[in-house]
Amino acid sequence: MTATIAELDSGEGVLGATLADARTLSALTALSAAEAGQATLFASTGAVHAMDTPEQAETEAEVRELSRTELRSLIGDLLVSGAGRTGS
């Protein structure tokens, strides 16, 4: 699902309501000399979501609900990509 950043900020629409129900918000960042990766995750009452946040506020953000397996995979990919490049 997608929504504009303004909709998310105002709590409008389905995604805005989901974000308004957030119980936790985490930004995971992995850095290396070659690249950086970031994932924004939040947990609502019934699910965990990943949000792709654009750089400009007028553009849309994509939010997707994650299963336990998808969450572990996302975190693992992010950590491996950052850690894998630090020794190079």
The mean per-residue pLDDT over the stretch 55-66 comes to: 76
- At 7-53, the pLDDT tens digits run 777 877 888 788 888 899 888 887 777 777 777 899 999 899 998 76
**Predicted pLDDT at 87:** 41
Q: Please, which residues bridge with residue 79 across strands?
A: none
Answer whether 47's CB lies under 8 Å from 22's CB.
Answer: no
**Predicted pLDDT at 75:** 86
The mean per-residue pLDDT over the stretch 55-77 comes to: 83
Instruction: Give the whole-angstrom CA distance, residue 75 versus residue 79.
Output: 6
The two tokens of residue 56 are 């400009």
**Predicted pLDDT at 85:** 46
**pTM across the whole model:** 0.70
